[in-house]
Amino acid sequence: MNKENILKKMESYSLTSFGKTLAKCSYKEKYIALAKALMEEIVPTWIQSEEKFEGKKQAYYLSAEFLMGRALTNNLLNMKSKAIVEELFEDMGIDFNTIEEAEEDAGLGNGGLGRLAACFLDSGATLNYPLTGYGIRYQFGIFKQLFIDGFQVEIGDNWLEHGDPWSIRKASEAITVSFADGDVLAVPYDTPIIGFGQKTINTLRLWQAEALNKFDFEEFNHQNYDLSVKDKNDAENISKVLYPNDSNDEGKLLRLKQQYFFVSASLQDLVRKYKEKYQDHNFDNFAKLHAVQLNDTHPGVAIPEMMRLLTQQENLSWEKAWKIVVDTFAYTNHTLLAEALEQWSVKLYQELLPEVYEIIVKIDQQLREELEAKGITKKELPQFEIISNGMIKMAWLSIYGTKSTNGVAQLHTDLLTEVELNHWYKLYPERFNNKTNGITQRRWLLQSNPELSNYITELLGSDNWITNLEELKKLNQVSDDKEVLKEFINIKQTKKNQLADYIKENEGIEVDPKSIFDIQIKRLHEYKRQLLKAFYILDLYYRLKEDPSLDIVPRTFIFGAKAAPGYFRAKGIIKFINEIKKLVNNDSEINGKIKVVFVENYRVSYAERLFPAADISEQISTAGKEASGTGNMKFMLNGAPTIGTYDGANVEIVEEAGEENNFIFGLRVEDIAKIENYDPKAEYVNVKGLQRVIDSLIDGTFDDGGTGMFKELHDSILKGASWHKPDNYYIVRDFDDYRKAQLEVDQAFREKMTWAKKCWLNIANAGKFSSDRTIDQYAKEIWGIEKA
């Protein structure tokens, strides 16, 4: 690939796509022309990759989310062509950053589940494993977040407004998916997943829902214009939005349709291709050639759907089909929250998927018979029932119908096997295993932090760390080198300056780049305890008001999070934080010692600026509630110590980098297990400053616009609710310990070289947390696939 060739192709695409010369194209149009030119380079290798895996066992990752982020820079880095393209635009007098910024974030995911899936695909291709992703091509993503008077407001994220130059529509491979209320067409769009060095290019296949009959001419002719496109609109709703609000039955039905839609299309796709390639209608070798991973329970309907395909369409016996299903499928559990273990009402399944429901009934009966044969008593039986109290337990279905169930951090897996799923573990101990999550260093260091990447390569004398993150261990040897630590401090300051400029431009807030950048970025959920951090900020503000001379290192508190549209309490927390932000940032009496930023519309491209600039990583979930976390790993890799609970992958982070180089606080899992008859009111009154900040929710300090959000938050802590006890996530109990840990951060940050060493030792010991390691384990221990 050379500059002249790319430029020539870009000129051609400018003419044919936009009807103008490249010079007259907007930045957005130039980006699209470049992407199309690069696709010409990518597709031949893509085809070759498909060919080299022919006849070999392949893995397929079924996920409701793939939070891919922008593709341009990631693809150029993996193609080892970024310098060429940057030079090309420099010759044209254009800053390449403006082209990067012209690309929309792909609206295909929301949280860690989707980002993990994206990292896994990157690692699969880089390690030369045959790994295909299957999901939904959401037209509007989850939503674009706006703050209006501090409230979260959702608008459509029309990321496909200008098309997606990285995907190829394969209309000839469309599949019909049947529901009780009619059939829809699943049209595949294939996106290349480029491994580093471009030796292997795998595929992300996303399904778009379309109507079989897109336009009813007869209805139109009768002037029933709405009816003429009803089928089209109903079908397209399936792939309109990620996680539509399901607070009523209509929303629940749409979510169920989404899940079945992409699962059925994906499995039909595998079956069709298998029959075409191998002419094997007995499916004797299907499990030998396919490994299908269910990313949480969203694709759990795959188990009965595969049984339906094999028994009803391919006429296999039930026994044979069941063995194929169990041998083919594996399940990843992502939650310890009982309320988050997905369940569907029998009524909805009967209404929408009656044939699938009948198969679930048969699976449930088969399980009962097996359990009785194993000596499980009638008293014990209900804890295993897949269908129970009018609900279908998708986690139980996913455990029973697969050969493997894995947790995503060692603590998480231990809690699954010893507590939450102990009854299943006793039944199938051989099926349970741990696969600690990981992140791809290609995006989260090489791409996000080129300054640090270049310095690491310089110190190590090679860039082997890009594909073998354990190479970072060698950085331990220079952890006492003052010149190395000074250079790290300079790089960190550069990233903080860049983020400060970006925040000023995008949020309109001026922050002190010399302050501690204290960052908490993740989904907004009560167990992640953004509220704990908010209470701490307000307490610190009040202490500063009482004593303006209070000796603290200036601090910038940064949040980034979206709340699910129907999650009232989470939206209340966002409003509360934004009220605190307004109070703190507009008070000149505290001399700018603290600032609060809640970044609007947090997304991957914003995250790529936040992780490298962080001084401290907030991982403060209630112990035992966070399955793993991957944000903690991204912060660690970029040299930010963790302030956090002994939870999820935090446990393994401090094992690798040392507890002395992080700030662990609060209750541990074993502490919580011992708590009985907990009433937070005593600590609420006795912990200095706590009552004042909690009562700010109801004493008129802040205004929730008459929504009742703040009183509901206040009650959730002190009174509980019908579905949970008071202070369910132990914010009150952990508050003082968190405050003490924050004081430790303040004191430690003052010793610049000592602080820099803590940061450096986190980087040097982050090697374990590469998704390359995770995928290697999946490939060898669950999927049984081999590298090309």
Which residues are catalytically annotated? 334, 522-523, 528, 630, 634
Q: Determine the distance from the C-alpha atom of residue 118 to the mean position of all C-alpha atoms in its chain, rounded to a whole number.
A: 8
CB 557 within 8 A of CB 595: yes
Tell me how far apart the alpha carbons of residues 720 and 717 are, in angstroms, rounded to a whole number. Answer: 6
Tell me how far apart the alpha carbons of residues 500 and 517 are, in angstroms, rounded to a whole number. Answer: 10
Helical H runs in 222-337?
A: 225-228, 230-236, 249-278, 286-289, 302-308, 318-328
Tell me how far apart the alpha carbons of residues 538 and 473 are, in angstroms, rounded to a whole number. Answer: 40
The CA–CA distances, whole Å, from 576 to 470, 618, 697 equal 42, 18, 8
SS percent in the chain: helix, strand, coil, step 5: 55, 15, 30
End-to-end CA distance of the chain: 24
> Where is 39: in which H helix or E strand?
helix 27-52
Sequence-distant (≥ 6) Cβ neighbours of residue 148 within 8 angstroms: none
Rg (CA), the chain: 27
Tell me the residue type at 145. Answer: Q
Helical axes 482-507 vs 752-764, angle rounded to 10°: 90
Tokens 């029933």 belong to 224
Query: What tokens were used for 258?
Result: 């989404």
Query: What tokens were used for 560?
Result: 């980034």
Tokens 């999901």 belong to 135
Write the Ramachandran bin of 590: left for phi over 0, alpha for psi from -120 to 50, otherwise beta: alpha
89-92 contact pairs (CB < 8 A, 24+): 91/3
Tell me the residue type at 511. Answer: V
CB 185 within 8 A of CB 232: no
Tokens 């970029």 belong to 638
Annotate 197-242 with DSSP letters as a single string. TSS-EEEEEEEEEEESS---HHHHHTT-HHHHTHHHHHHHGGGTSS
The CA–CA distances, whole Å, from 779 to 41, 57, 131, 589, 786 equal 29, 10, 9, 58, 7
Write the Ramachandran bin of 693: left for phi over 0, alpha for psi from -120 to 50, otherwise beta: alpha
Question: Where are the extended beta strands (E) located within 554-712?
Answer: 555-560, 594-599, 616-619, 642-644, 663-664
Tell me how far apart the alpha carbons of residues 649 and 762 are, in angstroms, rounded to a whole number. Answer: 14
- Among 220, 248, 250, 245, which residue's Cα sits nearest to residue 232? 220
Query: What tokens were used for 541?
Result: 């503000």
Annotate 493-508 with DSSP letters as a single string. HHHHHHHHHHHHHHH-
> Where is 735: in which H helix or E strand?
helix 731-750
CB 597 within 8 A of CB 607: no
- Among 586, 585, 606, 603, which residue's Cα sits nearest to residue 594? 585
CB atoms within 10 A of CB 638: 25
Quote the DSSP letter at residue 104: P
Write the burial class of residue 785 (CB in 10 Å: 0-12 exposed, 13-18 middle, 19+ buried): buried
Write the burial class of residue 390 (CB in 10 Å: 0-12 exposed, 13-18 middle, 19+ buried): exposed
